[in-house]
Amino acid sequence: MSGMNIMESKLGADAAIYRCVVPAGEPWIREIHKGQYFRIVDLGGNQAADTLFYNASDYSDRYSAQDTIREQKNLYLTTGTRLMSSAGNVLLTIVADTCGRHDTLGGACAMESNMVRYALEKRHMHACRQSFVKAVMEWGRGMSKRDLTSNINFFMNVPVTPEGKLTFEDGVSEPGKYVEMRAEMDVLAVISNCPQLNNPCNAYNPTPIEVLIWDRQGA
């Protein structure tokens, strides 16, 4: 199921209460309050933004790829998708999307998977799991690598073959494309701006992303 649903936002960047450019390969972590709007912009095009979401009042209640896919009956995420938690709560809703399709099956790259998928000498290369661990450890508040769970790969193209296999393909995003979400509860967002160089998820050239937040009355 492709499920591409292109929709532009009515929110202007000048009205955002928070803006931050996240360099390629770097992590980002911040709470987003209920009713706020959260946008991730693919500045350079074809850049995967690996993202985790948690219930801000209970980190054990976190984004669930399985529940999200079952709820919407679609493998891919786009405008209208409700991002479900492991306890059945709606964390955020995608309200605008100019890319049209995002992956939640491919997972996050790790040093170990780089070694297994590509070559032994690739094990030293930086990976998203390291960025996630760095972010949650610096955030503290009882979080550790044990809290890492299924993630979303915004802007990443991971088609599912008729045989049920995943393939990593060139991205469907372009410079300036974005995805925007409304927080349905207080959430903690964690991003690893993917450093992967061994497959086309970043067009073999990782680039920065920008994150923006609008206050609830800005909608």
Task: Assign 206 a pLDDT band (cuts: 50, 70, 90).
Answer: confident
Q: What is the pLDDT of residue 25?
A: 86
What is the pLDDT at residue 109?
A: 62
Report H helices in the chain: 65-72, 111-117, 128-139
Is 191 a residue whose pLDDT tops 80?
yes
Question: Which pair of tokens denotes residue 6?
Answer: 């292109």
Report the predicted TM-score, pTM, of the whole model to 2 decimal places.
0.88
d(CA 193, CA 125): 14
pLDDT digits (tens, 9 = 90+) for 38-57: 999 999 998 889 999 999 99
pLDDT per position as a tens digit, 58-91 = 999 999 999 999 999 998 999 999 999 999 999 9
Q: What's phi and psi for 152, nearest 5 deg? A: -100, 140
Distances from the Cα of 73 to the Cα of 2, 66, 87, 156, 183, angstroms: 11, 10, 18, 19, 21
Statement: residue 199 has pLDDT above 80? no
